[in-house]
Amino acid sequence: MSSNRRLARRLDPYRPLDRAAVALGAVSILSAAFIFVHGTFQIVQIGAISLVVALVLGLLAMAAGWLAEATLIVAAGVGFLLAAGVQILLLAGGSAGFLGGNPSTFSLWLGLGIGLIAIGLVPRPELAAQDTFGPD
């Protein structure tokens, strides 16, 4: 990345939003470690499929934040909300189901989903602003 691009990125007023998306993606990836944790310190229950969900959607959120792609940030958020919805429906049926999570997993994915959608839906009018200063 050239120094000019790096400077432009640092001055971007939407950079804190993108960094928040990267952080939420990182939280998801970190949560995958709970596949190895059981008992008192198990904050969320992660099974084999929920591990894949946590890693894939976490990486998507991080990449979306890194690339400053609001649409991808929303897509990652919708993915988390869908996963949370499926998990709670499976739990309503009486078991963790194929995802292998528990109500804590639902809670985590709910938070990540809502957070990413809230970030991704912030209007980003920078293209319109650039047009204003463009050649006539």
Partner 1 sequence: MAGTDYAANTDYSADSYFVPRAAPLVPSRLSRALLAVVRIGVGLLWLQNVGWKTPPDFGRGDPPGGLYLSASYAVSHQVFYPYAWLMDRFVLPNFTLFGWMVLVVEAALGAFLLIGLATRFWAVVGIAGTVAIALSVLNAPNEWYWSYVLMLLVHLALFATAAGRYAGLDGVLRPRWQESPSWLVGWLVRAS
Site residues for partner 1 per CB under 8 A: 16-17, 20, 24, 27, 42-45, 88, 91-94, 102-104, 106-108, 110-112, 114-115, 118-119, 122
Q: Cα 117 vs. chain centroid, distance in angstroms?
A: 8
Q: Which residues of 15-31 are buried (b: 16+ CB within 10 A; e: fewer)?
A: eebbebbbebbebbbeb
Output helix, strand, coil percentages for the chain, rounded to the nearest 5.
75, 0, 25
Q: Which is nearer to partner 1, 4 or 127 (CB)?
A: 127
Residue 129 C-beta: closest distance to partner 1, Å: 15
Q: Which is nearer to partner 1, 17 or 75 (CB)?
A: 17
Q: Cα 73 vs. chain centroid, distance in angstroms?
A: 7
Q: Which is nearer to partner 1, 94 or 134 (CB)?
A: 94
Q: Which two tokens stand for residue 31?
A: 């949560």
Q: Which is nearer to partner 1, 2 or 10 (CB)?
A: 10
Residue 2 C-beta: closest distance to partner 1, Å: 26
